[in-house]
Amino acid sequence: MLVLTRKTGEGIIIGDNIKITVIELKGGGVRIGIDAPVEQKIYRQEVYDRICRENQEATQWNLADLNDLSSSLVGRKTTK
């Protein structure tokens, strides 16, 4: 892990197209700004961890549960 010290207004460049800037130091927290391409996904760590956990849980479906779900959808009329 790279550890850097930055002051308000100073930044870090990652690759050719991501810039992180320290916006404010306040109450023990740090506000940062991130300039990155729109197609680059950026998550807070706790959100990313939750997404990974929920994706993992989604792969753990029991086959019986899927069969029950499939049976409940058979014959169901769809509306447009």
Helix/strand/coil percentages in the chain, nearest 5: 30, 25, 45
User: Mean per-residue pLDDT for 39-57?
Assistant: 95
Instruction: Give the pLDDT of residue 72.
Output: 83
With cut-offs at 50, 70 and 90, classify the pLDDT of residue 80: low
The span from the CA of 37 to the CA of 73, in Å, is 41
The answer on pLDDT for 37 being more than 70 is yes
The answer on pLDDT for 47 being more than 90 is yes
Nearest CA to 55 among 72, 64, 43, 67? 43
**Direct distance between the N- and C-terminal alpha carbons of the chain, in angstroms, rounded to an integer:** 52
The answer on pLDDT for 25 being more than 70 is yes
Tell me the Cα Rg of the chain. Answer: 22
User: Mean per-residue pLDDT for 20-46?
Assistant: 95
The answer on pLDDT for 58 being more than 90 is no
